[in-house]
Amino acid sequence: MTFKKEKYKIVRSAVSKDVVNFVNNYIILKEQVHDTLKDSRYIIPFSDDWGTKEDPQCWNAYSHYADVAMETLLVNCLPLVEKETNLKLWPTYSYTRVYRKGHELKKHTDRKSCEVSITLNLGGDMWPIYLIDTKGKNIEVKLKPGDMLLYSGCELEHWRNPFKGNYCSQVFLHYNTQNKKNKINKFDNKIHLGLPKWFKGKKL
């Protein structure tokens, strides 16, 4: 299977167990910190500096845009993703989410910064992701911690059915092919990785 032809590819054990366990424990603890700070009113409403549970795509699921640890993972995975896709890529942004029982991800495609997308299973209960391939066929993908699904997020519709498990944590790593048209999407149109989405500083 080639990414260029099929627009998706599964890579088993793409990230080591030690790294995945660390990242999973990190994001679960960060969710706990977010909840404590918010309950104690140290976080103002709608602030997402510590993550958020107000993402309309999956309301009440803990989510974090461009967490510095996940942005580091985004960079570290770049050589592997380039190898598996046979493309030269720019990192755009990372997005982490912890799903709980009852959460659902509606069928959708992604924005332009998600030309090459990765969903990496960090831990928790098995929760398949579905996509419609280039032939119009529904594909079910089951990932264990450390496995990743590479897919063309802007082209292939993808979704998850209502979650019946306890929790499932995922990080999404997004890239664009290196060309003039996509240059604006490099680092998701920010100066560098790791900056919050509200940052509007001028590019260097």
98 falls within a domain: yes
Quote the pLDDT of residue 202. Answer: 59
Overall number of domains in the chain = 1
Quote the pLDDT of residue 46. Answer: 62
Q: Which portions of the chain are predicted below pLDDT 70?
A: 45-46, 201-204
Range of the domain at 28: 3-188
Residues 29-38 pLDDT 10s: 999 999 999 8
195 falls within a domain: no
Domain CATH code at residue 118: 2.60.120.620
41 falls within a domain: yes
Residues 29-67 pLDDT 10s: 999 999 999 888 887 766 778 899 989 999 999 999 999
Distance CA 157, CA 195 (A): 28
Quote the pLDDT of residue 45. Answer: 65
Parallel, antiparallel or unpaired: strands 105-108 and 158-160: antiparallel
Quote the pLDDT of residue 203. Answer: 55
